[in-house]
Structure 1
Amino acid sequence: MNMQRRLPFLETLAYLNPWRKSRLETYILQTCIQAFASALMIVSSLIFLIEYVSISKNLGAKADVSGLSVIGLMLEKSPGSILVLLPFAFLFGSLFAFVNLNRRSELIAMRAAGVSAWRFVTPAAILAFAFGLMTIGVFNPVASRLSDHYDKVVGQISHDADVKDMGAIYLRQGEGSQQIVIRAESQDKVIGHLKGVTFWVYDIDAKQVPVFRKRIDAQEATLRAGFWQLKNAREASVEGPAVPAYDVLTIPSNLDPQKAFKKYASTQAVPFWRLPGLINQNRISGFSTAMYELKLHQLLSTPLMFAAMTALGAVFSLRLMRLGGMTGLVISGISLGFVIFFVNQLFSSMGKAGVIPIFLAGWSPAVLAMLAAMTLIVYTEDG
């Protein structure tokens, strides 16, 4: 019965294998899958341990949290960190897989039979590329949702909403001939409910120059669909004396109540499918979209990065064991992986600062890693 239940699943996996009629590529795929899974388990275990200690230390001083609660929070926070370090899992997994093939002389037999390095590196790279696509469409949204829930739970445990830690809040809205700059001293636990709010209203003249028109101060302001609702508001314009206070005042708004405050969320808590909408909303609100555009391009380049790291791991494992020097090559491969990670962080910082274009900052590390891998394979194969 168990074999009958497993057969459809195994048949599905076999059908998804583009090399299902080739034993060599299928064997390499199986070996790489086992190695990738082992490397991923090691990386995940380290992250779980680090996050558990971090959460216990940070929350232990604020509230009485049980061990099970800490484990639950750890499981919600860790996936985001695991996704950041996934390229290393593919680098280490590829190194382990091909070094083992080399130690068992299987790689030697392949090379002696005239099999090109491209033939057994390509299946591993394509496998990593496919996993990168799954990371973008499935794993990233799941990790983002868990991260967002983690932030909310931690805010409730510490009895302090995340938005209160951000100090003053600034928004901008408007289109056509009018722009409104909004400043609030704080935001309530209910997103969109601001306290100590000031609205500066500007008219845009024929030369596209903003001209100050009036100021509105309110004790509270709530963003609803299509308008702001102000309480205890007082209006003052440049054309006349201050208007008596309003108990309730409404101001038209083109901001979306569900998205206007999403810019305060970290990029890690925003899933891939919501990034384009959030970027557009921030543009309407007049805020910088660099961080979210960079995150979008980095996610889109994820499959290429995974494939590049896998190819790099393979190319540093092709040297015959009897020639020696394998340990040095493995260390060189790991060192190159850390260099690529550093370059990725450097380009991210430069992109956020506006030193280089966002597109270049998001794609350059993955492209450079792939070019380095292809260059090393060509050098190894053709001298």
Structure 2
Amino acid sequence: MTLAATLSFYIARTFVAWVLVMLASLSGLVSLFDFIELLRRSASKPEATFGLVTEMAALRLPYIAIQILPFAVLLGGILALWRLTRSSELIVARAAGVSAWQFLAAPVFCAMLLGGLATAAGSPLSSMLLARAEQLDNLYLRAGGGPLALAGGQLWLRQSDHGLSRSGVAIIHALGVSLKAKTLTVHDVSVFRLDGDDHLLTRIEASSATLGPGVWLMENARTVRPDQVPGRPQVTLLPTDLTVNRVQESFASPDTLSVWALPDFIRLLDRSGFSSIRHRLHFQSLLALPLLCGTMALVSAGFSMRPARRGGVARMLGSGVAAGFALFMISKMAEEFGQSGALPVALAAWAPAASGLMFAVALLLHLEDS
């Protein structure tokens, strides 16, 4: 094994160890604040026990870890490379003729590999656990109903219904969905009107229903009551607190869908006429995560390989942390522009990582020449 290969393996091992330490530390810290927030929200909910809140916080931990990963790479890389520079190991390696690009190739590859594993393997796990955490959140900490699911082109909705029972709910099932010019129309509709104890009071079968301001307008609707003959088809109005925007926003959150499930769900939203910008942006962000992790590794190298004898090391390390958070702010701004439609989705997801990569490469080129 050559000197460069041996050195690269040693640096990569140190780099990964520090990244994992920072990932565990930062994830634990953020999860602690998340746990405290859940405790605050559960204070007025007697059914939300301490054990349930703990379970919810634990279920959210993998999702938090994926969000924290780029910063763990940045901070872990800075600490690992700074310690190697302070002990003169990197200085001796460069004096021996080993280029910084040679011994940084392995850490950058490891960072991209961690990002790839987070996307391919971590995303399915975190999305499944986060979906369960949101179910518990909706059940114990939030009030009201809301859309349940959009699957296979069929729509399931749940809304409050006080027309027949004080605490009643209405469950709406439609075989077809279309959204045109902000008008939501569902076809082959079945409405199950229940009381507070989930006992069926009446059922409505309609050929179509249109969501208007505060009401569902149902065409050719038959009302079916237990032990009664179905009524004649007629136009029926069902009060509702749903709006088109609320229906769209309440579909499965992009964070609760794995990278493997997102393409099919995006196609389903597009076929149904709903906006898929949030889901497409999240999908592209997951694909760009390996590049972002590799960029953070290069940024950490550019701000941590300055020899201590030159002075200004603390300022250099602080600048590295500031540059990482600046990249985070840029990515969030690009995400907002992407969700508003001002930027193409692919550009909003990939541009921050690509611009950070160019900045890190320029910084390392300057470091190599100095």
TM-score (norm 2): 0.75
Indicate the RMSD between aligned Cα atoms, in angstroms: 3.9
Q: Which residue of 2 aligns with 1:224?
A: none
Distance in 2, Cα, partners of 1:298 & 1:132: 11
| Deviations 1:137-171 (CA, angstroms, capped at 9, x unpaired) | 1111111111001111223334856xx1x4x8999
Q: Which amino acid aligns with 2:35?
A: Y
Q: Which residue of 2 aligns with 1:6?
A: none
Distance in 1, Cα, partners of 2:223 & 2:49: 49
Which secondary structure does the structure 2 equivalent of 1:264 belong to?
Answer: coil
2:310 is the counterpart of 1:327: no
Q: In 2 relative to 1, CA 333–96 (structure 1 residues): closer, same or farther, beyond 3 Å?
A: same
2:117 is aligned, of 134, 148, 167, to 134
| Deviations 1:155-212 (CA, angstroms, capped at 9, x unpaired) | 3334856xx1x4x8999x99xxxxx9x9967279xxxxx938699x999xxxx99xxx
Count of residues in Structure 1 that have an aligned counterpart in Structure 2? 321
Q: Which residue of 2 aligns with 1:186?
A: 159
Q: Which amino acid aligns with 1:372?
A: F
Percent identity, please. Answer: 25
Retained in 2: the 8 A contact 1:76–1:146? yes
| Deviations 1:47-97 (CA, angstroms, capped at 9, x unpaired) | 121111111111122125444333222110122122112110000011000
Q: In 2 relative to 1, CA 198–157 (structure 1 residues): closer, same or farther, beyond 3 Å?
A: closer
Q: Which residue of 1 aligns with 2:345?
A: 358
Query: How far apart are 1:20 and its partner, in Å?
Result: 11
Which secondary structure does the structure 1 equivalent of 2:261 belong to?
Answer: helix
Query: How far apart are 1:348 and its partner, in Å?
Result: 0.5
Which secondary structure does the structure 2 equivalent of 1:301 belong to?
Answer: helix
Q: Which moves more between the two structures, 284-293 or 19-28?
A: 19-28
Extract unaligned runs of 5+ from structure 2. Answer: 162-168, 194-201, 210-218, 225-229, 232-246
Q: Which residue of 2 aligns with 1:231?
A: 203
TM-score (norm 1): 0.73
Q: Which amino acid aligns with 1:329?
A: M
Q: Which residue of 2 aligns with 1:195?
A: 170
Q: In 2 relative to 1, CA 98–160 (structure 1 residues): closer, same or farther, beyond 3 Å?
A: same
Which secondary structure does the structure 2 equivalent of 1:22 belong to?
Answer: helix
Query: How far apart are 1:119 and its partner, in Å?
Result: 1.4
Retained in 2: the 8 A contact 1:51–1:78? no
Distance in 2, Cα, partners of 1:202 & 1:298: 28
Q: Which residue of 2 aligns with 1:79?
A: 62
Which secondary structure does the structure 2 equivalent of 1:85 belong to?
Answer: helix
Q: Which residue of 2 aligns with 1:95?
A: 78
Q: In 2 relative to 1, CA 32–215 (structure 1 residues): closer, same or farther, beyond 3 Å?
A: closer
Distance in 2, Cα, partners of 1:214 & 1:56: 40
Q: Which amino acid aligns with 1:61?
A: S
Q: Which residue of 1 aligns with 2:213?
A: none
| Deviations 1:347-371 (CA, angstroms, capped at 9, x unpaired) | 1000110001111011111111111
Distance in 2, Cα, partners of 1:68 & 1:304: 38
Distance in 1, Cα, partners of 2:312 & 2:221: 84
Query: How far apart are 1:317 and its partner, in Å?
Result: 1.0
2:315 is the counterpart of 1:342: no
Q: Which residue of 2 aligns with 1:53?
A: 36
Distance in 1, Cα, partners of 2:107 & 2:220: 71
Q: Which residue of 2 aligns with 1:38?
A: 21
Distance in 2, Cα, partners of 1:185 & 1:146: 23
Q: In 2 relative to 1, CA 187–289 (structure 1 residues): closer, same or farther, beyond 3 Å?
A: farther
Query: How far apart are 1:262 and its partner, in Å?
Result: 10
Q: In 2 relative to 1, CA 132–246 (structure 1 residues): closer, same or farther, beyond 3 Å?
A: same
Q: Which residue of 2 aligns with 1:227?
A: none
